[in-house]
Structure 1
Amino acid sequence: MPKLRLIHVASILLILPTALGSVSLNPAEARSGGSFGSRGSRTFQAPAPTTTAPYTAPVKRSMTPNTVQPATPSQPSLAQPRPSFWSRFGGGLVGGLVGGLLFNGIFGMMFGHGFGGMGGGLSFIFQLLLIGGIVILAMRFFSRSNTAPTEARSFATPFGQQGFGAGAQAYSPPAATGIGASGATGADEIGTTDTDRSTFERILAAMQAAFTREDHQGLRRLTTPEMVSYLSEELADNATKGLKNEVSNLQFLNGEVAEAWREGMRDYATVAMHWSAIDVMRNRQTGAIEKGDPNNPVETTELWTFTREAGQPWLLSAIQETAN
């Protein structure tokens, strides 16, 4: 193979991946944590808003199968943009042009023809620049036509870790504390009682205490098996890092039943919980505080879902962090 042709082929192998890489590669989005647990058939639905928690995203991590079906071609999703003139006509035109240049020009040269005749190497450079210009124009057009607002997402963290690295949420405590009945947009289909709502407050305090003691038996008495697995995983992760979470001086500030419903023989109640507590991470060996403020409490708002079978006590089945 002539030396000039070898140089051309080597140049193509080096330049082509760079020229087209930005079009074909999508970086993976890594996420960790997230709200977790089960809300029965409503696991993947956003809970009803309340004054305590106006918006909360659906559960992100659950053992409950997601039965929500994606939209079919005959029933297009409202979130999908309509095909633009560019995608129907301009895209095909430019795609054909780029394909012709690539296969008749670059790859043709690799097999002994193409980029020949007038210009030689100059034609090769010109066609590469032309391809790059077309790709840039296409990307700019799509970025203007298909730009959509990105949904802000926030994810729950297990007990008491919300205050790390951030100040307390702005909040004016209500004149009276305690969990109220279902908010204006929610529906309490099972008729939760004052006894039920007092039980939800008690589980909040007992859960924080059990998590601080790393009491797995206590967690099993208060939560569903699925929640025990998530909380035990968090405790094991803390231990691996040489840390221990301590939550103390918990004060319940306010709460509302967002929604409550029945599925067969099982009841569910999703409750907006707002409380303050001292929340710190200690070094397991030295006892030194590595995260958190031991003197100033932080305020936290989360949605906790409780479930019970007929005649059985309430158990915690899901935790969701509210949007800031």
Structure 2
Amino acid sequence: MVVASDFAEARLGRSGSFGSRGARTWSTPAPTPTAPSAQSMQRSVTPQSQMGQTAARTTSARTGGLFNRSGFMGGLMGGLLGAGLFGLLMGSGFFSGLGSMAGILGLLLQVALIFIVVRLVMGWMRSRNQPSYAGGARPEPMQRSALGGGSETAETPETTAAPMRPGFGSAPRGRPLKLESGDFDSFERLLGEVQGAYSRQDRAALAQLMTPEMMGYIGEELDDLARNGWENRLADVKLLQGDLSEAWSEGASEFATVAMRYELKDFVVETATGRVVQGDPERLGQATEFWTFTRSSGGEWKLSAIQQV
């Protein structure tokens, strides 16, 4: 049952959000008509921005008082106040809980333990903060569309930044990048080639189509399939609708995040017998995802991230 749940979404990436988008890795891609929202990144080698933690510390400093301050002194004062109130409630005076050396040592031990627990909890909560960066003008919709077997290419906008929305930061990172019609052709081609190589478990081909980081994640999926004696077959991949979310450059690297809705046949077979163990080889399903591609100036586009809607 555990194995079955792992492959409930068997296609490439197993409906996860992982990879890198340069300086925008931990921000949410700009919404598009194809995909109005996206999941935050779940796995990436790119360090998460510290802006969220800095903002939290700034807010604490502005609103903090004697008992809001972090550190041992704040915990100690809170413990002393608690002990005094307890003494008052018991009718023995505000300082009755501190009447002996044993009582003082016991109090200090409790305060120290509480302080450690609070620090651990606060550190865990801060690590879960995922700031988003946004700004600029909304991109024109439908930069690349394929419907009913045909395809049309819309004019590429001059700016490709995300729309203004709440979050840490007020402007996208990197310089706006103008894409050409051939770039969108590359994105559609890579959609089919990556899915096909994954279906064939062709690691050499995948290594040419995606970044080393993405190859590491996809390699883990292929290893899991092999351990179970399975193959994830993907067939009849076809782009139905796609449009540009963001395109920008950072130094010598260029990035483009594209929302794509596509159809495919997705099923799992037993390698030794060819028996279908999951999915339906005859049924076409649909998926909508944000795919981010990257390249060095003048190089070939490669898949660098996948995010779910």
**TM-score strictly above 0.5:** yes
Q: CA deviation at 1:54?
A: 0.7
Secondary structure, counterpart of 1:71 in structure 2:
helix
Q: Which moved more, 1:192-201 or 1:291-300?
A: 291-300
Counterpart for residue 269 of structure 1:
256
Secondary structure, counterpart of 1:236 in structure 2:
helix
Q: CA deviation at 1:189?
A: 2.1
User: Closer, same or farther in 2 for the Cα pair 1:72/1:42, shift >3 Å?
Assistant: closer
Counterpart for residue 23 of structure 1:
none
Secondary structure, counterpart of 2:58 in structure 1:
coil
Cα pair 1:179 1:255 within 8 Å, conserved = no
Q: CA deviation at 1:252?
A: 0.9
Match of 2:229 among 231, 235, 242: 242
- For residues 33 and 277 of structure 1, the distance between their equivalents in structure 2, rounded to whole angstroms, comes to 14
What per-residue deviation string (whole Å, max 9, x for no partner) do you get for residues 150-193 of structure 1? x9xxxxxxxxxxxxxxxxxxxxx967745655689569921111
Q: Which amino acid aligns with 1:64?
A: T
Q: Which amino acid aligns with 2:232?
A: N
Alignment of 1:213 with 2:196, yes or no, is no
Secondary structure, counterpart of 2:54 in structure 1:
coil
Alignment of structure 1 residues 90-129 onto 2, 5 Å? 95-96=82-83
What per-residue deviation string (whole Å, max 9, x for no partner) do you get for residues 213-258 of structure 1? 0001100111111111111111001111222100101111010110
Alignment of 1:288 with 2:271, yes or no, is no
Counterpart for residue 35 of structure 1:
17
Secondary structure, counterpart of 1:76 in structure 2:
helix
Q: CA deviation at 1:311?
A: 1.7
Secondary structure, counterpart of 1:40 in structure 2:
coil
Counterpart for residue 136 of structure 1:
none
Counterpart for residue 146 of structure 1:
none
Q: Which amino acid aligns with 2:231?
A: K
- For residues 273 and 46 of structure 2, the distance between their equivalents in structure 1, rounded to whole angstroms, comes to 40
Counterpart for residue 255 of structure 1:
242
Alignment of structure 1 residues 1-324 onto 2, 5 Å? 34-69=16-51, 70-72=53-55, 75-76=58-59, 95-96=82-83, 177=151, 181=156, 185=162, 189-322=176-309
Cα pair 1:50 1:184 within 8 Å, conserved = no
Secondary structure, counterpart of 1:75 in structure 2:
helix
Q: Which amino acid aligns with 1:57?
A: Q
Q: Which amino acid aligns with 2:181?
A: D
User: Closer, same or farther in 2 for the Cα pair 1:73/1:58, shift >3 Å?
Assistant: closer
Q: CA deviation at 1:305?
A: 0.4
Corresponding residue pairs, total: 223
User: Closer, same or farther in 2 for the Cα pair 1:214/1:74, shift >3 Å?
Assistant: closer
What per-residue deviation string (whole Å, max 9, x for no partner) do you get for residues 258-304 of structure 1? 00001011110000011001100111222111111222111000100
Cα pair 1:44 1:60 within 8 Å, conserved = no
Cα pair 2:292 2:304 within 8 Å, conserved = yes
Q: Which amino acid aligns with 1:75?
A: T
Q: CA deviation at 1:68?
A: 2.8
- For residues 310 and 185 of structure 1, the distance between their equivalents in structure 2, rounded to whole angstroms, comes to 22
- For residues 84 and 278 of structure 2, the distance between their equivalents in structure 1, rounded to whole angstroms, comes to 58
- For residues 257 and 268 of structure 2, the distance between their equivalents in structure 1, rounded to whole angstroms, comes to 28
- For residues 281 and 97 of structure 1, the distance between their equivalents in structure 2, rounded to whole angstroms, comes to 66
Q: Which moved more, 1:48-57 or 1:287-296?
A: 287-296
Q: CA deviation at 1:67?
A: 2.8
Cα pair 1:178 1:252 within 8 Å, conserved = no
Secondary structure, counterpart of 1:200 in structure 2:
helix
- For residues 92 and 318 of structure 1, the distance between their equivalents in structure 2, rounded to whole angstroms, comes to 48
Q: CA deviation at 1:98?
A: 8.7
Secondary structure, counterpart of 1:220 in structure 2:
helix
Percent of residue pairs identical: 39
Q: Which amino acid aligns with 2:58?
A: Q
Cα pair 1:178 1:255 within 8 Å, conserved = no
Two-structure CA RMSD over aligned residues (Å)? 3.9
Task: Find the structure with the greater CA-based Rg.
Answer: 1
Q: Which amino acid aligns with 2:49?
A: T
